[in-house]
Structure 1
Amino acid sequence: YQIPYLVAGRTGAIASPKAGEDPKKLAISPVGAGPFVLTEFVAESHATFEKNPDYWDADNIHIDKLTLKPRLDPSTVVAAIQSGSVDVAVIPATQAQAAEAAGITVTIETALTASDASINLNTEPFTDPKVVEAFRYAFDRQAFVDVVTAGLGTVTHQPFPEGYLAFAPEVEELWDYDPAKAKQILADAGYEEGDLSLTITAQAGGDVAAELAQAQLAAIGVGSTIEIVPAGSTTWQDEVYVAKSPQLALDGTIGRESPVANLLATYGPEGIMNLSGPHATTEFLDALDAVRATPIDSPDYPSVLREAVKVGVTQSPTNYLYSSPWIFATSDRVGELNLLPSQVRWEGVTVEG
């Protein structure tokens, strides 16, 4: 019953069996039926796309050429748009007010984004269940909302934001921020202050969140160092999503049209964002099967789905922290953006000149 959701998103993209025969070539020269065709790719620099005249809705695509670049340093976004070197940019919430003050158009829209402290059960110190339990109480989620999202986000303990169908309110009551309790759990397990240390892995632009996490861990007696993965680098995909080597990574999901697909990506045994993979309990997989077997228009669907979310959250060591909206800055040349909760679309978007 999830098929309507699946075909509405990335999972439903039309694939080329012939192109799939050469995965290495496909990785840098994708083949698809979307609104744009890749014409140039320079690793760590940019990707250039041109309008696909064979796209089914080509008449609604008003951009002839699109160049995609790695995310800019937050401190340079406003200047880049003012200079005309960039027309559209994702900006951190902390830069939104400055961008608006500079006369730049800022668009804020609801997104399915949820950010987490992803924990790896396969590495120390998280091989000890008591450490995992202590970390449940270590993070001040409201502080992340206030500092990282400038108050524009919301607290969440799950890979869905409040207001979305899959959001399970009861999950929000499972663990409170309680550093004293976290310290006591560690002490009862035989850990003295300073015994534990780890590396926090974060993406470029995630410095503020990483430093906040570091301070909150210090408050429970856990030391940490921060490793920032450079912008545009493939290291994040290779080391976090494939090798799953970090102890703790500040990551997140931008959602999927199918909530089951999102739960599999975040908690499934082969989930790209399940840093503890292949960990996934039988109870969780059975709960997902129950969702799949329930018609999406059934009155039972919301409760069955939310039960699967609760099971997924409790069986995983990962701690979701906050959700945040889409925040885009655009130049005067760009018309209204087409932002869906889980993806950015270019149909109907116009650019002058």
Structure 2
Amino acid sequence: MIRTRKRRIGVLTALVTAGALLAGCSTSAAAGGGSGSDTVHWGTKQIATAWDPVVTGSTGATNYLTPIYESLFTLNEKREVKPALAESYSYNQAGDQITIRLKPKLTFQDGTPVNAEAVKFHIDRIKSQQNSALKGSYNNVKSATVIDDLTVRLDLGQQDYQIPRLLSVRGGMLPSKAAAQADPVKLSQTNPVGAGPYKVVEIVPESKIVLEKWDGYWDAANIHVKRIEINFGIDANTLVPGLQSGVYNFAQIDGSQIQQARSAGFDILAGVNRQWGSTFLSLNVNKAPFTDPKVVEAIRYAVNPAEFATKLGFGEGEPSHQPFPKGHPAYVDALDSEHPYNPARAREILAKAGYADGAISFDIAGVATNFDQVAEVLQGQLKAVGIRTTIKLTDFANWGKGYYGKTLAASIFGYVGRDSHVQALTEHYDTGGVLNLSSPYTSAPFQQALKAVRATPLDSPDYPSRLQAAAKAGYENGSTVSLYTYASAIAKKKSLSDLPAIDGFLSWKGVTFTHGD
């Protein structure tokens, strides 16, 4: 999970002031990105609150997990599934069993073996641990069986060729069995142990983590950056000055800062092929007034995605009538015209359903500092059609209790691209989906379309159309109201080479420092 908080401003200001004296020297230790440097100094306003991929409900947090944990499979820049901890997989003829073969002689960072028992334990924990954020994603995985030390079989509830994608990136990140079994809370808070390229050498909860290259990683030859230091909770307004002074050489910045960072000469990594984000309004159809589908329909017509993109996208955002950006495999052209902005139509629907002006009111929940402006724009749009709202934003921990516990009636939230296309859909629209505020509600049309796309091999010519049919059925019958898509941007020193453009997470493979600025 991640959250943001305005903090440590005074400390950072002092660092920026001191760092400014070194700003002209690209070889300084503070710059971290000049000649002779091998450390990524990473600044972010986000705060990591969990380090266990099983309980981390935020897709944005994947960025901080991927250096520590390796998944069973991985994705390349073409979104193709490739081996990682596992070397291969095979399905039975019916497509309802998948057998996974692990690479031999691999260990976790604590020296314990990466074996079939560790995989089975991980999947059992996903399905049984009370605070598991992946439980909904694994609905169709019924059981894991150890065949031998390096082979595990997954029995599925129905034919499902999406499993290799589910076992990629966050869905397949494998923590040490020994660490998770000994103390899952410690694993999540102070002692994350995986089999990824970097090992934790220091962690200050919610403040800082220091990672060093782990030579036991199976692909260590492709890891050239020796050290990553992530500083959390940094005031967003100080990130670009921190880059300029050399305090950071890598920073996650807001859309409002992209032009500033670009003008200052930093590389900007953004776009739908790497770090896009989707902001949406989650409605709970189990709670009034959203038990009436007419209210949900009216809100869809009342929302003006173009206003969000114009006011909050800073030239990098796009209006969105669905949770995926243009170019994404699950993007459906037809959804853009299904509920166009039409406040008059929204008023008409409410009037015919018997709602007088001002009769509908509800609280807009969300995480403070993340969604303040979004909430204000949304409040104005709903007011224009006679819906009264009260904005109630809070810290991540308190908000999360209501959102993940499904007790909120309405909340603003967002996410970045997920590894499995079907996982993205089930998280939004399926029972147990972490983004489905209406869970356990799901719809029959979505379940039917979901079954069809799961039964379709990834390389089938029918796969794109069936994926989009499931995305369309999910959105039309679900309770998510999309607002806009934005660029979740990274600014970096030019001395750090480009990162692979992989949808939804950061890979450090092949990344190097050069002698340039």
Q: Please indicate, yes or no, whether the TM-score normalized by the shorter chain is above 0.5.
A: yes
Query: Structure 2: how far apart are the matches of 1:118 and 1:8?
Result: 26
For the Cα contact (< 8 Å) 2:436–2:479, is it kept in 1?
A: no
Distance 2:246 2:392 in 1: 32
2:388 matches 1:223: yes
Residue 260 of structure 1, CA deviation:
0.7
Change (3 A) 1:312 1:293: same
TM-score (norm 2): 0.63
Question: 2:463 aligned with 1:301, yes or no?
Answer: yes
- Matches of 1:314 and 1:212 in 2, distance apart? 23
Q: Aligned ranges for residues 321-340 of structure 1 at < 5 Å?
A: 321-331=483-493, 333-340=495-502
Aligned match for 1:259, one of 404, 421, 425: 421
Do the aligned residues in 2 keep the contact of 1:179 with 1:219 (CA within 8 Å)? Answer: yes
Greater relative contact order (Cα < 8 A, sep 6+) = 1
- 2:495–2:514 Cα contact (<8 Å) kept: yes
- Give the secondary structure class of the aligned counterpart of 1:339: coil
CA distance in 2 between counterparts of 1:55 and 1:234 reads: 33
Distance in 2 separating the partners of 1:208 and 1:266: 23
1:6 matched to 2:171: no
Amino acid at match of 1:116: F
Are 1:162 and 2:323 matched, yes or no?
no
Distance change (3 Å), C-alpha of 1:16 and 1:269 = same
Q: How far apart are residue 351 of structure 1 and its match? A: 4.5
1:92-137 C-alpha deviation (Å, 9 max, x unpaired): 2222112223333323332453221111223332222221121111
User: 1: CA distance between counterparts of 2:299 and 2:262?
Assistant: 38
Query: Does the Cα contact within 8 Å between 2:428 and 2:480 map onto a contact in 1?
Result: no
Matched residue, 1:288: 450
Report the counterpart of residue 320 of structure 1 in structure 2: 482
> Equivalent residue for 2:401?
238
Q: Which amino acid aligns with 1:341?
A: D
The reply on whether 1:345 has 2:345 as its aligned counterpart is: no
Distance 1:31 1:295 in 2: 34
Q: CA deviation at 1:60?
A: 2.2
**Pair 1:239–1:306, CA change in 2 (3 A):** same
Unaligned runs of 5+ in 1: none
Q: Report whether the alignment pairs 1:26 with 2:190.
A: no
Q: Does 168-177 or 245-254 show the bigger shift?
A: 245-254
Q: What is the CA–CA distance in structure 1 between the aligned matches of 2:390 and 2:168, rounded to whole Å?
A: 41
Q: 1:134-163: CA deviations, max 9, x gaps?
A: 111111111112221123232322222111
Alignment of 1:96-115 (within 5 A): 96-110=258-272, 111=274, 113-115=277-279
1:224 and 1:77 mapped to 2: Cα distance?
A: 33
Change in Cα spacing, 1:332 to 1:165, as seen in structure 2 (3 Å) is: closer
Contact 1:74 1:205 in 2 (8 A): no
Q: Residues of 2 paired with 1:196 and 1:348: CA distance?
A: 54
In structure 2, do the counterparts of structure 1 residues 193 and 41 end up closer, same or farther at CA, with 3 Å as the change threshold?
Answer: farther
Aligned mates of 1:228, 1:155 — CA distance in 2: 23
Q: Which amino acid aligns with 1:139?
A: V
Change (3 A) 1:200 1:81: farther
Once residues 398 and 239 of structure 2 are traced to their aligned partners in structure 1, the CA distance between those partners, rounded to angstroms, is: 23
Worse overlay, 133-142 or 191-200:
191-200
Give CA-to-partner distance per residue, 1:159-212, whole Å, 9 cap, x none.
221112221212222111111111222223333333333222233232222221
Separation in 2, partners of 1:124, 1:352: 58
Cα distance in 1 for partners of 2:355, 2:443 equals 28
Structure 1 contact 19–26 (Cα < 8 Å) conserved? yes
In the alignment, is the contact (CA less than 8 A) between 1:119 and 1:247 conserved in 2?
A: yes
Deviates more, 1:146-155 or 1:313-322: 146-155
Q: Percent identity?
A: 39
Distance in 1 of aligned mates of 2:233 and 2:173: 25
Q: What code does the residue aligned with 2:317 have?
A: G
Q: Normalization by structure 1: what TM-score? A: 0.90
- Structure 1 counterpart of 2:186, one-letter code: K
Q: Is the 8 A contact 2:266 2:491 kept in 1?
A: yes
Computed over aligned residues only, the root mean square deviation of the Cα atoms, in angstroms, reads: 2.3
Partner of 1:41, secondary structure, is strand
1:62 aligns with 2:224: yes
Q: Does 1:17 align with 2:177?
A: yes
Mapping 1:167-182, distance limit 5 Å: 167-182=331-346
Is the aligned partner of 1:206 residue 2:367?
Answer: no
Aligned to 1:349, the other structure's residue is in SS state coil
Deviation at 1:257, TM superposition (A): 2.4
For the residue of structure 2 that corresponds to 1:208, the secondary structure is: helix
Paired amino acid for 2:478:
S
What count of residue pairs does the alignment treat as equivalent? 350
Alignment match, 1:45:
207
User: How much does 1:88 deviate?
Assistant: 1.7
C-alpha distance in structure 2 between counterparts of 1:239 and 1:351, whole Å: 43
1:281-324 per-residue CA deviation (whole Å, 9 max, x = no partner) reads: 23312221111111111121111111111110111121112222
> Which stretch shows the higher mean deviation, 172-181 or 68-77?
68-77
Distance 1:119 1:251 in 2: 11
The alignment status of 1:278 with 2:440, answered yes or no, reads yes
Establish whether residue 75 from structure 1 lines up as the match of residue 237 from structure 2: yes
The CA distance in 1 between the partners of 2:496 and 2:362, in whole Å, is 44
